[in-house]
Amino acid sequence: MVIMDSSLEGEPGTDFLSFVATDNTSGGRLGGEHLLELLGGNGRVVLLRYLVGSASTAAREEGFLEIMRESDGIEVLVDNRYAGPTAGEAKTQSLNMFDQVRRAEGIFCSNEPSTYGMLLALRQEGLAGQIRFVGFDASPPLVQALEAGEIDALVVQNPDRMGYEAVTTLVRHLRGESVPPVVDTGVALVTRENLNEPAIQALINPEG
């Protein structure tokens, strides 16, 4: 058995053949490093988590917090609020903590619905584009917000490579070849500056 994208309990290479996915902790750290750079190493930030029990987003959130904890100039105002499964619920949760959001200079959200929900809340409160904002995943509305300056960066996965590597791993195993227990399919940081680069366009617009 090959597990793709979001892990199950167990040890890759022992309890199942291989785990093919984004290194989510590294993805969270990448987002955190960019937000830290945008803030010049100083400021107050809020984290909007996704769901209790979601292993992939929890790893992103912890990676982000690792970077924040490494900087003496950063104060994390909120790190324990969960968006819920939809953008609508994420907007509601964002508005519920807006007293802290108003005090913040930076925001990180760990997946597409939490990022979009926070964006909708910022728009409603007239703060879109006024607080440094790094999200995770790409969708047409988020890319449009990036282009408009409402989002500063998106950490983006490579789902095509994820699917390809998962099938390739199975085929190699069936051919009797050895396969790695973990395959990291990578992440990229998308900004307005690199948005039109071919490699980035292939990630955010895979159908061309």
Q: What is the dihedral of CA 164, 170, 176, 180, to 10 degrees?
A: 70
Angstrom distances, CA of residue 175 to CA of 6, 163, 169, 178: 25, 19, 10, 9
Sequence spans of domains, the chain: 2-21+159-186, 24-157+188-204
Cβ-Cβ contacts under 8 Å for 142 (sequence gap 6 or more): 112, 115, 116, 119, 135, 151, 154
What does the pLDDT read at residue 37? 98
Q: Which two tokens stand for residue 154?
A: 């998106």
Q: Which two tokens stand for residue 160?
A: 């095509």
pTM of the model: 0.93
The whole-number average pLDDT for the span 167-196 is: 96
Beta bridge partners of 153: 134
CA-CA-CA-CA torsion sign (79, 82, 86, 90): negative
Question: pLDDT-derived band of residue 7, with 50, 70 and 90 as boundaries?
Answer: confident
Cβ-Cβ contacts under 8 Å for 171 (sequence gap 6 or more): none
What does the pLDDT read at residue 84? 96
Report how far residue 208's alpha carbon sits from residue 197's, in angstroms, rounded to the nearest whole number: 13
Q: Which CATH superfamily is domain 24-157+188-204 in?
A: Response regulator (3.40.50.2300)
Q: Which two tokens stand for residue 130?
A: 């006024």
pLDDT digits (tens, 9 = 90+) for 8-56: 788 998 999 999 999 999 999 999 999 999 999 999 999 999 999 898 9
What does the pLDDT read at residue 6? 79
pLDDT digits (tens, 9 = 90+) for 39-52: 999 999 999 999 99
Question: pLDDT-derived band of residue 207, with 50, 70 and 90 as boundaries?
Answer: low
CA-CA-CA-CA torsion sign (163, 169, 9, 137): negative
What does the pLDDT read at residue 206? 63
Question: pLDDT-derived band of residue 125, with 50, 70 and 90 as boundaries?
Answer: very high
